[in-house]
């Protein structure tokens, strides 16, 4: 791996089409910005048109002449994902890069997606699974094989797939649910690589995590009542991220590496190289044992296909 990798070291992507979910701010926007800076035609996907068009204007100002667009899709709705994928297939015959970035984190009380899934499991894992499944034909049509980047998290290290209560109906704890969803993302990325090799799909699956990055993902908490203890806990977490973490631009580097670098390997997992992988330069990330468990991966894959009504195998 190139030491101290930066986006400027990525190859030119002129003529490549890239889709980044959750691209209206934070890591998604920074990743889309990096792709645009290397010449890719970028689609910024999100569920908020106002934020989407604001992000698009910002990008066009930062990368003059970039070919970018905002695309409306709600990763918490299987109907929205299906409609988006159908429309995209009418517009293009290939997709070179898909970055599954959109997500929510630590909602204080249990919420559900439009399809009745626990919000974090549904948005962070089932949504990207369904989107990737519906776009697989376009990805496999890319001349160099489509590259799928799934954004995991350090939270995956503490995650556990609770098969008898995946939707946290019996017991809900905000970060227990978040950790499970991000472990599921990492399992998905690794299993997608295995499936691609098994079926000889021209598709490259790579995972990345941003370390501790100051982003607006905590905005998923807005609109819910918060007690004094939770507000103090959240304030403490913000200060911890500021002291030991990094900016969204730096946090996006492992994701951009996975999406663009020639050195990024299929089935790889990338993150910061600093203490605890919280910040630093791009490096290989630690994969927790649960993410390497083939029995868990195959079972989760089958569950995801059944729940989303899509097939990726």
Catalytic residue among 29, 172, 178, 269: 178
pLDDT mean by block of 10 residues, the chain; 313 residues: 87 98 96 98 97 97 97 98 98 98 94 98 98 98 98 97 97 96 98 98 98 66 48 51 76 98 97 94 97 98 98 84
Question: Which positions ≥6 away from 98 have C-beta within 8 Å?
Answer: 18, 19, 131, 132, 135, 139, 146, 147, 148, 149
Report the alpha-carbon distance of residue 32 to residue 25 in Å, rounded.
10
Radius of gyration of the chain (CA): 18
pLDDT of residue 231: 55
Instruction: Report CA-CA distances (Å) from 301 to 72, 113, 194.
Output: 26, 19, 12
Report the alpha-carbon distance of residue 156 to residue 277 in Å, rounded.
12
Report the alpha-carbon distance of residue 144 to residue 286 in Å, rounded.
28
pLDDT of residue 214: 73
> In the 3-class helix/strand/coil scheme, how is 23-50 assigned residue by residue?
CCCHHHHHHHHHHHHCCCEEEEEECCHH
Report the alpha-carbon distance of residue 111 to residue 119 in Å, rounded.
5
Residue 151's closest CA among 213, 208, 105, 190? Answer: 208
Instruction: Name residue, tokens 């995209």.
Output: 88
Task: Quote the tokens at residue 311.
Answer: 């097939």
Residue 115's closest CA among 141, 78, 89, 166? Answer: 78
Report the alpha-carbon distance of residue 104 to residue 109 in Å, rounded.
13
29 is catalytic: no
Q: Considering the entire predicted model, what is its pTM?
A: 0.93
Q: What is the dihedral of CA 238, 239, 243, 246, to 10 degrees?
A: 20
Residue 253 DSSP one-character state: H
Angle formed by the axes of helices 294-308 and 127-140, nearest 10°:
90
CA end-to-end distance (rounded Å), the chain = 31
Report the alpha-carbon distance of residue 282 to residue 271 in Å, rounded.
6
Instruction: Name residue, tokens 């982003």.
Output: 215
pLDDT of residue 50: 97
How do 146-151 and 68-72 pair as beta strands? unpaired
Report the alpha-carbon distance of residue 75 to residue 229 in Å, rounded.
30
């Amino acid at each position: 791996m190139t030491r101290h990798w930066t986006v400027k070291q990525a190859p030119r992507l002129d003529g490549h089409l890239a889709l980044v979910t959750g691209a209206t701010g934070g890591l998604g926007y920074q990743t889309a910005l990096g792709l645009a800076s290397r010449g890719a035609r970028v689609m910024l996907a999100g569920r908020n048109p106002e934020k989407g068009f604001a992000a698009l204007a910002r990008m066009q100002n930062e990368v003059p002449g970039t070919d970018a667009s905002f695309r409306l899709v709600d990763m918490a709705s299987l109907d929205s994902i299906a409609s988006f994928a159908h429309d995209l297939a009418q517009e293009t015959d290939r997709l070179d890069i898909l970055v599954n970035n959109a997500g929510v984190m630590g909602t204080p009380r249990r919420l559900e997606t439009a399809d009745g899934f626990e919000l974090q499991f549904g948005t962070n894992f089932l949504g990207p699974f369904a989107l990737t499944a519906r776009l697989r034909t376009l990805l496999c049509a890319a001349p160099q094989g489509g590259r799928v980047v799934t954004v995991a998290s350090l939270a995956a290290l503490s995650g556990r797939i609770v098969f008898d209560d995946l939707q946290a109906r019996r017991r809900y704890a905000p970060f227990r649910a978040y950790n499970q969803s991000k472990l599921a993302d990492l399992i998905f990325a690794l299993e997608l690589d295995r499936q691609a090799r098994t079926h000889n799909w021209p598709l490259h699956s790579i995972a990345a995590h941003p370390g501790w990055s100051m982003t607006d993902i905590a905005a998923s908490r807005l609109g819910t009542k918060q007690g004094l203890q939770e507000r103090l806990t959240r304030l403490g977490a913000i200060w911890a991220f500021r002291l030991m973490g990094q900016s969204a631009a730096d946090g996006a580097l492992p994701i951009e590496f996975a999406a663009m670098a020639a050195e990024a390997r299929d089935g790889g997992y990338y993150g910061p190289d600093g203490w605890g992988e919280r910040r630093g330069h791009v490096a290989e990330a630690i994969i927790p044992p649960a993410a390497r468990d083939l029995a868990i991966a195959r079972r989760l894959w089958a569950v995801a296909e059944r729940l989303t009504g899509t097939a990726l195998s």
